Structure 1
Amino acid sequence: MMAPRLKRRKEEGSGSVVSLFPCRKTSTSTSIQQLSDDMLFEIFCRLPCESAAKCKSVSKHWLSLISHLYFIPGYIRHHHQTNGNATQPFTLLLESFGNIVVVPSEFDKKIGVKVVDLLKFLPPASELHIEAAFNDLLLVCSNDSRFWLKNTSVFDYYICNPYTKHWLTLPPLPPMTFASTPLVGFICDANFRYKVVRIHCPSKSSSANNNTTMIRVEIFSSETGEWRTSFVASPRELNRFSQSTMQHPVVACNGMLHWLDIDVYSKTRRNKGIVVLNPQGCHLCYIDLPIFPSGCFISLGVFQGCIRIFQNSIVRCPRYCRLPPRYCPYCAGDDMNFSVWELGDYANAGTWSLKHRVYFRDILSEYPIFNMKGAELPWPVKFIAFHPNDGDIVFLQLLENCIVSCNIRTGVFCSLLDIVSMDVKSVFLLRQPSWPTPIHPLPTKFESPPRLNC
């Protein structure tokens, strides 16, 4: 009875073998529940970030896969290989007395800018300040960390991701008395382990060697969930921190923290070099600067894993006058320029190379106010940041009320942003990677906490 029945179905059907066995159709097809974890992993890595994040709520199994330790690095690696040299979006954060202006990477035309409450998702505080940024993470401190109460410092730090609105409060530091506000650095590795580093003002060692400088360093590690304090000896005599030192941010690059060693007490305001701190082993080293004209202003930055220096030759005259350069014999001249230097061969003490030098007499702009010659150029010119994706673009502040995007290869001002006379105190570059950086909870307190080797 079975054979004729099969034959009749084959004649009446389309001839497909599958059509003869409708009951086997579901057995030969594969449902998504039957996919292996490796296959699901590959599927999730190919989804947009928002879609992959929503998949967490489908089932506990999917949640465990997407929350796995290796998923995010694999997701980022896949999108990097797929997109090739596609640039990541970024945002410039301009901070001034607690107000934050957000400048998106679409920096191609004059736009209106609003002061935004970027940190409103954090616990209420009288005022919050951004201390440092690394990729899409921000290190934020409360208002109390900027003031001294009875010579005792009280610091409250938060690590947050403005894109996901996730945040974490760091354990408080014990109240301690210091003579000055410390520099603060923030760094995160590929496994999303981060360190917050507070660098206190250098002091002379009490040893017989008067050239030895000691630095008090406080490091918070996400691996231990605790602060550790160390005293680090410098290979060279370092200058005490001044207002000029505090105006320059600590730059994170190649797992190290960098800041300028400035001798503000000399007549020429000499920039001596770059101090480098390895937070992993608490070691200091020193990088000498290129030879600059005396009195020039320099700023540190980073471009795609390389330390860069912005050198501005326009300086105030010795009297610190407020006259425009064309009326001041000290500031006027056709040789006014700025330069960009890059440090190569970082692992072997490094070699500086001059990438670009732009003379103001050669600058062109689509805006008539900047089409000037030499001493007629509006003053002052202030460095803002290096473009993270284009090595030829640098952001500058002119006239104290606008920001321009300057192509240092062609000498063309290509964009203008009106900031309404905002006195920019700090600038932070916020990246937007293919997958937001997670903020893992701190470990429970160890009975016997491991100590840093420093």
Structure 2
Amino acid sequence: MASTKSNSTINNLSDDSLTEIFCKLPCKTLFSCKSVSKHWLTLISHPNFHSQYLTHQHTLFQKIQSQGEDPDQPSFILKPYNALVIAPNLPSLQFGPLQNHLSLTSLGPDFEPANIVPQLRSVLKFVFACSNGLLVYGNPRPRHKCVYHVRNPLTKDSLELPRALTLCDHAGVLVGFMCDPYYHLVNENAKVSIVPTSQRRFRVVRIPAFSDTRFAFDVEVFSSETGKWKRFLVSCPKGFACGFFLTSSSVEHEGKLYFMGGGRVLVYDPYDDEREAPVIELPCGFGEAYRGCLGVSCGRLQLSEFPISPSSGFEAHSGRVWMLQHCGKGEETRWELLHEFRLPEIIGPVFQELKSLEVEYMRGCSRILAFHPYLKDTVFLKFGDNIICCNLLTRRFRVCKYGGLSLLFYPVIPIVLPCWPTPIPSPSSLVDPSA
């Protein structure tokens, strides 16, 4: 009996069958599959496939969330930068050692001066902010106009912006970044809709630091639609002081940017033509601003203070966490105290072990770096040259070692990786205003 060749090869599968297979693969594998054939490239690159793929990934993510804590969820410092990468433990982000697949390009010789000692070169490359998986990074060198880069650390796509309007001062600068998402959930069933490129935009916001309280000040905004920087005078009826605090940074939440400084939180909408910025008072009894961390967890704005100054009557290595409560219309927002804790009580005998290994230049530099975006009551805390991820309620924790000097000087920016890499919206034109 003559044998016949089987036609059931992958090349003969229908698009529906290929889509079903592709939806179960990691992003990295899909990127490689694009080079197999023009047909696969067209299929994987189409927004309709992205929608189906993301719907599948978010359905899995909902199942993971319903099961509670995930001890294997990837999180690590993106060395040598001041960035904390947090990724859902999903098939789409199974890159093997994820650290090996994330990178930021070199900023050139101007950003790595030859006369700087190697241990300090890392702090010259600075991540300012993150939005929907995209980073803004650059070099805040005094007496220079900073050049900012928008970067996708997964795809390694990058966009260089024109030089900022004003020089960087020794007092520093507050930087915010907001980029429209590539996709959003349509309903509770995790159906995903892709946002067309023509409807996506981003803003980079700069506030040159000032230590005195001001009721009006300049804000510089880069618009992706124009490809230019523009200076605006912003009024702040209650006043704001933004002396540069090395452990503070901007936070994006519900279409606004939040900047911490001078005992208050500035709320700024980079798309608002009114150019008036309200402030939120810090909780009563809050200590020094450099001990604070502002962030978002499970869709709510949170604030921490750690370690609390011993002069406040608290024991050593104590901390507090608040959540912002939105009151009724016309009423002021208020902070609700969620946790009051002592680190030695949470991590037990490990505390003394880590304390004994603490090197001299790291002592006294403990602080909360970020809140976990998906796991309630969970914070990332720096103690010595270790990062501790701990749940303040269940007291479950894990410790990983990090020996980077950059964590001593700069805020740590949480990078929350989306299930599909966010394309960088391309400005229609890029004109350097200093040219």
TM normalised by structure 1 equals: 0.67
Give the match for residue 435 of structure 1.
420
Percent identity between matched residues is: 30
Question: How many aligned positions are there?
Answer: 371
Is contact 1:94-1:428 (8 Å) kept?
Answer: no
State the SS of the aligned residue for 2:162: coil
Give the match for residue 375 of structure 1.
none
Q: Does 1:242 align with 2:233?
A: no
Give the match for residue 284 of structure 2.
291
State which of 313, 317, 336 in structure 2 corresponds to 1:353.
336
Give the match for residue 397 of structure 1.
382
| Cα 1:167–1:415 shift into 2, 3 Å | same
| Cα 1:425–1:199 shift into 2, 3 Å | same
Q: Does 1:54 align with 2:32?
A: yes
Q: Does 1:280 align with 2:274?
A: no
Give the match for residue 62 of structure 2.
84
**1:50 aligned partner, one-letter code:** K
Give the match for residue 7 of structure 1.
none
State the SS of the aligned residue for 2:278: strand
State which of 320, 332, 335 in structure 2 corresponds to 1:339.
320
Paired with 1:53 and 1:94, the residues of 2 have a C-alpha distance of 22
Give the match for residue 161 of structure 2.
170
Give the CA RMSD over aligned residues.
Answer: 4.3
**1:227 aligned partner, one-letter code:** W
State which of 226, 229, 245 in structure 1 corresponds to 2:228.
226
| Cα 1:226–1:72 shift into 2, 3 Å | farther
**2:54 aligned partner, one-letter code:** I
Paired with 2:288 and 2:164, the residues of 1 have a C-alpha distance of 38
Is contact 1:163-1:436 (8 Å) kept?
Answer: yes
Residue deviations 1:188-244, cap 9 Å, x none?
22236322111234699xxxxxx97113222222233222322121131222x2243
Paired with 1:176 and 1:421, the residues of 2 have a C-alpha distance of 25
**2:337 aligned partner, one-letter code:** L
**Range moving further from structure 2, 45-54 or 251-260:** 45-54
| Cα 1:59–1:277 shift into 2, 3 Å | same
Q: Does 1:251 align with 2:248?
A: no
User: How much has 1:94 moved relative to structure 2?
Assistant: 6.7
For structure 1, which runs of at least 5 residues remain unmatched after alignment?
Answer: 1-11, 13-21, 107-113, 205-210, 263-270, 317-329, 373-377, 447-454
Give the match for residue 301 of structure 1.
295
User: How much has 1:346 moved relative to structure 2?
Assistant: 8.0
**2:155 aligned partner, one-letter code:** T
State which of 121, 146, 149 in structure 1 corresponds to 2:141.
146
Residue deviations 1:289-341, cap 9 Å, x none?
3322555843211113211011236316xxxxxxxxxxxxx488648731111
Is contact 1:130-1:140 (8 Å) kept?
Answer: yes
Q: Does 1:312 align with 2:320?
A: no
Is contact 1:309-1:342 (8 Å) kept?
Answer: yes
Is contact 1:216-1:230 (8 Å) kept?
Answer: yes
Paired with 2:228 and 2:45, the residues of 1 have a C-alpha distance of 25
Paired with 2:19 and 2:108, the residues of 1 have a C-alpha distance of 36
**1:100 aligned partner, one-letter code:** Y
State the SS of the aligned residue for 2:55: helix
Paired with 1:343 and 1:436, the residues of 2 have a C-alpha distance of 30
**1:77 aligned partner, one-letter code:** T
Is contact 1:314-1:381 (8 Å) kept?
Answer: no
| Cα 1:31–1:51 shift into 2, 3 Å | closer
**1:369 aligned partner, one-letter code:** Q
| Cα 1:51–1:178 shift into 2, 3 Å | closer
State which of 130, 155, 161 in structure 1 corresponds to 2:127.
130
Q: Which has the larger radius of gyration?
A: 1
State the SS of the aligned residue for 2:295: strand
Residue deviations 1:236-284, cap 9 Å, x none?
1222x2243x53111111121101131xxxxxxxx2x211111111442
| Cα 1:124–1:350 shift into 2, 3 Å | same
**Range moving further from structure 2, 302-311 or 410-419:** 410-419
Paired with 1:76 and 1:116, the residues of 2 have a C-alpha distance of 20
User: How much has 1:51 moved relative to structure 2?
Assistant: 3.4
Give the match for residue 75 of structure 1.
53
Is contact 2:346-2:392 (8 Å) kept?
Answer: no
Give the match for residue 100 of structure 1.
81
State the SS of the aligned residue for 2:408: coil
Is contact 2:343-2:351 (8 Å) kept?
Answer: no
Give the match for residue 93 of structure 2.
none
State the SS of the aligned residue for 1:52: helix
User: How much has 1:158 moved relative to structure 2?
Assistant: 1.0
**1:298 aligned partner, one-letter code:** G
**Range moving further from structure 2, 64-73 or 335-344:** 64-73
For structure 2, which runs of at least 5 residues remain unmatched after alignment?
Answer: 65-69, 88-98, 113-124, 183-199, 356-362
Q: Does 1:63 align with 2:58?
A: no
| Cα 1:362–1:61 shift into 2, 3 Å | closer
User: How much has 1:358 moved relative to structure 2?
Assistant: 1.0
TM normalised by structure 2 equals: 0.69
Paired with 1:102 and 1:197, the residues of 2 have a C-alpha distance of 19
User: How much has 1:80 moved relative to structure 2?
Assistant: 0.3
| Cα 1:224–1:34 shift into 2, 3 Å | farther
| Cα 1:369–1:433 shift into 2, 3 Å | same
User: How much has 1:49 moved relative to structure 2?
Assistant: 1.8
